Amino acid sequence: MARGTGQALGGDSLATLADVARRAGVSPATASRVINGSSKPVADELRERVLSAVAELRYVPNAHAQLLARPQRSVVGVVVHDVSDPYFAEVTRGLQRVATDRGRLVIICNSYRDPERELEYVEMLRGQQVAAIVLAGSGYHDADFTARLTEKLAAYEATGGRVAVIGRHEHPGDAVMPANDVGGRLLGEELLRLGHRQIGVIAGPRVLTTITDRLRGLRAALADGGVTLDDDHVRYADFDRDGGARAAAELLDTVDGLTALVALNDSMAVGALALLRQRGVRVPDQVSVAGFDDMPVAADVTPTLTTVRLPLVELGARAMTLALGPAADRSRVEVLPAELVRRESLGPAPR
């Protein structure tokens, strides 16, 4: 039964339902009924024969043929910025937990923060006939891209697909949002309370709406306390450890008298901490540091990191729940609360 004509993928082809039926001496219809436990009863003897044929041939139904014949969608597509980022690792954990509980298979696609790739994946998932698409990760400040993505998602929804997005809300479908602005505000208020006036901000990539949201909250709180955040006190950096260290170095080198450094995620905060240690700057005695997200590492660095906790696993779980639940008449937006976690890295401003 060799089929390959010298193809890289040579070898015997998979057993088909017809093979099973032939071996069991029944029709494909009967074999099918036995295999999916159809409502229609099958005589015990035939059932036996089919089952042993399945075992002998190691038959596995061709999922594509099944889907074609019975368009029952059970797969969910997830497009995420980067699963190996701890933030998304947590979110993904929540997504998976719910999906698995409901017997759904998840296809995870990494866009690596490339908007074009995000678009491609949505297209591809549509072709895969997935039951739902979940987009996890901040939106982009790019009106053209946003419009194109919205258009694609709308087309998908129009054909019965479900859409849920995490951390952005500028699209059709349900949205689950961490309270980024509130988090920024909490941090700002805490800084004021501790007497900080000269504050440096290590922001992530400028194009991400998450960054804008966090910064807006922070700015607003500081403004309420009479402190304005100059543009040169804000450095945009890569969202990782090294980016944080670089931005911290720049801030220290260009702005005098800083008493606090706020990083808009924990990875960058950890980088800043490392740079400060390397330069012999004591935290928080000389300079305070704060982060964002409360990722596991925050509790293990020295000094432990004051940060804003976002319910990451919950974010994923809620999004998947919405995506798999009944469709709403119109888009829902759920906001999950942020919470300040006080640890050692943020202390009173030195006088």
Contacts with a second copy by CB under 8 A lie at 4, 7-15, 58, 60-68, 73, 83-86, 89-90, 92-93, 96, 100, 105-110, 123-124, 126-129, 131, 152, 155, 157-162, 241, 270, 273-274, 296-297, 299-302, 326-327
Q: Does residue 134 sit in helix, strand or coil?
A: strand
**Structure tokens that stand for 144 in this block:** 């053209």
Identity of the residue, 39 or 84, whose beta carbon is nearer to a second copy in the bound complex: 84
Identity of the residue, 65 or 147, whose beta carbon is nearer to DNA in the bound complex: 65
* Cβ pair 137, 205 in contact under 8 A: no
Closest contact distance (angstroms) between CB of 35 and DNA is: 6
- Selection from DNA, a second copy, none that 265 binds (CB < 5 to 8 A by kind) is none
Strands across the sheet with 234-236, in order?
Answer: 234-236, 199-203, 260-263, 288-290
* Cβ pair 290, 346 in contact under 8 A: yes
Mask for 47-86, x = binds DNA (CB under 7 A): ------------x-xx--xx-xxxx---------------
Stretch binding DNA (CB under 7 A), from 14-22, 106-114, 202-210, 290-298: 14-22
Q: How far apart are CA 301 and CA 296, in angstroms?
A: 10
* Cβ pair 165, 176 in contact under 8 A: yes
Identity of the residue, 43 or 154, whose beta carbon is nearer to DNA in the bound complex: 43
115-121 contacts, C-beta under 8 A, 24 or more apart: 115/140, 115/142, 115/145, 115/149, 118/79, 118/149, 119/145, 119/148, 119/149, 119/152, 121/77, 121/79
Unique residue bearing structure tokens 């890289």: 8
Identity of the residue, 27 or 302, whose beta carbon is nearer to DNA in the bound complex: 27
Identity of the residue, 16 or 146, whose beta carbon is nearer to a second copy in the bound complex: 16
Type of residue numbered 307: T
- Selection from a second copy, DNA, none that 241 binds (CB < 5 to 8 A by kind) is a second copy
- Please report whether residue 17 would count as binding DNA according to CB under 7 A: yes
Mask for 26-45, x = binds DNA (CB under 7 A): xxxxx-xx-xx-x-xxxx-x
**In terms of Cα–Cα distance, which of 167, 226, 237 is closest to 200?**
237
Q: How many residues bind DNA (CB under 7 A)?
A: 30
- Please report whether residue 18 would count as binding DNA according to CB under 7 A: yes
Q: Does residue 78 sit in helix, strand or coil?
A: strand
Closest contact distance (angstroms) between CB of 192 and a second copy is: 28
**Structure tokens that stand for 283 in this block:** 């935290």
Dihedral class, residue 257 (left if φ above 0, else alpha if ψ from -120 to 50, else beta): left
Residues in the site for DNA, rule: CB under 7 A? Answer: 13-14, 16-18, 26-30, 32-33, 35-36, 38, 40-43, 45-46, 59, 61-62, 65-66, 68-71
